[in-house]
């Protein structure tokens, strides 16, 4: 029997970004982040993976998986099989965009919630 390779970008998104099978992503996040007790994720909402800027000339980004839990913590999960230039900068951009887009003008900064990035790499990065 052949199975789909989860390192494939489309397969990864289907496995971990599937609204109908959120328990897979929840289990993965709890295991990787060692979340237990009150910090354990019970439910989450899978968000649109496209981060479209409010200003037309700004760069947009397409994520593999983006989700938010009931506390407002955003999780970005990216699968990367090929080492590309400026990966760290690209991932920092993704997190910064997710973080900064949480509040609008005249909203106070304490309304900002954590953004957690998880990179699943098929190579040694750190």
pLDDT at 105 over 80: no
Q: By CB neighbour count within 10 A (0-12 exposed, 13-18 middle, 19+ buried), where does 64 fall?
A: buried
Q: Are 22 and 10 in contact (CB under 8 A)?
A: no
Q: Are 68 and 47 in contact (CB under 8 A)?
A: yes
Q: Considering the chain, what percentage of its residues have pLDDT values greater than 90?
A: 29
Q: What is the pLDDT of residue 45?
A: 85
CA distances from residue 35 to 71, 115, 118 in whole angstroms, order as listed:
13, 15, 14
Q: What is the pLDDT of residue 58?
A: 54
The predicted-structure confidence for 26-69, as pLDDT tens digits, reads as follows 999 999 999 998 889 998 988 766 656 555 555 566 788 889 99
| Domains of the chain, start order | 9-121 (3.40.1350)
Nearest-angstrom CA–CA distance, 90 and 75: 16
């Amino acid at each position: 029997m052949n199975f789909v390779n989860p390192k494939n970008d489309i397969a990864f998104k289907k496995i971990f970004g599937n609204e109908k099978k959120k328990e897979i992503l929840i289990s993965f996040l709890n295991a990787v982040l060692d979340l237990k007790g009150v910090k354990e994720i019970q439910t989450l909402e899978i968000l649109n993976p496209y981060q479209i800027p409010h200003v037309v000339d700004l760069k947009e980004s397409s994520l593999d998986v983006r989700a938010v839990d009931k506390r407002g913590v955003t999780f970005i999960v990216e699968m990367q099989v090929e080492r590309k230039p400026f990966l760290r900068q690209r991932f920092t951009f993704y997190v910064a965009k997710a973080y900064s887009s949480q509040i609008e003008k005249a909203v106070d900064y304490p309304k900002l919630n954590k953004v957690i990035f998880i990179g699943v790499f098929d190579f040694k990065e750190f």
